[in-house]
Amino acid sequence: MAKLAWIFAACCVLTAAEDGPDKDKVVLPTTAEDLATGKRLYLGGCTYCHGPTGDGGKGADLARAELSRAKTDADLLRIIENGIPGTEMPGAWHMTRREMMQTASFVRTLGRVEIKALPGDKARGEALYAKQGCAACHTTKQGNQFTGGLVGPDLSAIGLRRSAGHLRESILDPEASTPENYRFVRLLAKNGKRLEGRLVHEDTFVLAIRDAAGNNIALQKSDLREMTKDRKKSLMPSYKQKLSPSELDDLVSYLASLREAQ
C-alpha cells in the first residue's frame, strides 16, 4: 500500500509539472546541421506560400522579429505541427517531431533580416483606398470598430499576413493568387436565372454564394441546372490601368500598415 501511495504521489507531481509554467517551454535545435536541414525542409514545403526568404505571398510574412500568431517557439511549433484551422495553413503531418523543430528553428532566422522602408505615403494611400471604393468589398478597422464590406478578404491585418510584393501583385493582377476560401462560382438555375459570386457554403443539398453587391443567396442544389467553380476567377478587378506608379506605392504602403492583431 505504501508503495502504491508513493507511485500515486509521484504521478501527481509529474502531472503538475506538465501543467506548470514550463509546459510550453521548447528549446529549438540551432546547430549548423539543424539549421541546414530546417532550411531544406522549409524550401521544399513552405516557399510556395511564404516565399523563399519568408517575405510572404499566399501565406504570412515570416520575415519579422515577432510573429503575431507565434510569439513563442512553442506556438510556432504547434502551428507547424497542427496548422491553423480555418486558414490555408496545413499541419506538417509528413514531418517527424525533430524535423518540425528544425523547420521552426530556420523560420526564426528569417526574422533577423533588415526591414526596408516601403516607398509611398500611407496617408495618401488611405485616401486613395477610400476614393477607389475599396471599403465596399473589404473590411478594415477604424478606431475601435471594424467597417467595410464582406465580399472580399478582411484587410484589417493584411500587413501581418501578406508581404508588400504580394499586395502589389494582388492589386495589379487579383487572379494571380486567389484565396482558397474565396472560390468563384457561376450558377444556372432551372428557371433560367444566372448567378455568380463567391462560394460561402456548400453541403449535400444546399449551397450559398455572396454576389458582388454583398448579397447572400442560398439555393437548393436540386433547383440548379449548372454549377461551374473557377478557382482562378476573382470578383476584384485589376487596377493596373487605374493607378499611377506613385499611387500604387501609396496604396501598398497603406495596406502594409494594417496590422490589427488577430
Digit-coded pLDDT (tens) for 137-184: 899 988 788 888 888 888 988 887 777 888 998 999 988 877 767 788
DSSP reduced 3-state for 198: strand
If you classify domain 184-230 with CATH, what class do you get? mainly beta
pLDDT band for 4, please (50, 70, 90 cuts): very low
What is the per-residue pLDDT across 81-124, written as a single tens digit (0 to 9) for each? Answer: 998 887 778 898 899 999 999 999 888 888 775 566 789 999 99
Percent of the chain's residues with pLDDT above 70: 87
Residue with the bigger pLDDT between 6 and 80: it is 80
Percent of the chain's residues with pLDDT above 90: 34
Give me 151's grid cell. Answer: 465580399
pTM: 0.62
What is the per-residue pLDDT across 22-47, written as a single tens digit (0 to 9) for each? Answer: 446 789 998 999 889 989 998 888 98
Q: In the predicted model, is pLDDT for residue 246 greater than 70?
A: yes
pLDDT value of position 85: 85
Element of type H or E holding 6: helix 2-18
Q: In the predicted model, is pLDDT for residue 70 greater than 60?
A: yes
DSSP reduced 3-state for 227: strand
If you classify domain 122-177+237-256 with CATH, what class do you get? mainly alpha
CATH architecture of the domain covering 25-110: Orthogonal Bundle (1.10)
Q: Which residues lie below 8 Å from residue 179, measured CB to CB, with a gap of 6+?
A: 58, 88, 153
Q: In Å, how far are 24, 34, 255 from 64, measured between CA atoms?
A: 22, 21, 17
**Average pLDDT of the chain to the nearest whole number:** 83
**Hey, do 25-110 and 184-230 end up sharing a CATH topology, with the first three levels equal?**
no
Q: Domain coordinates of the chain in residue numbers? A: 25-110, 122-177+237-256, 184-230
Q: In the predicted model, is pLDDT for residue 5 greater than 70?
A: no
DSSP letter at 25 equals -
Residue with the bigger pLDDT between 6 and 205: it is 205
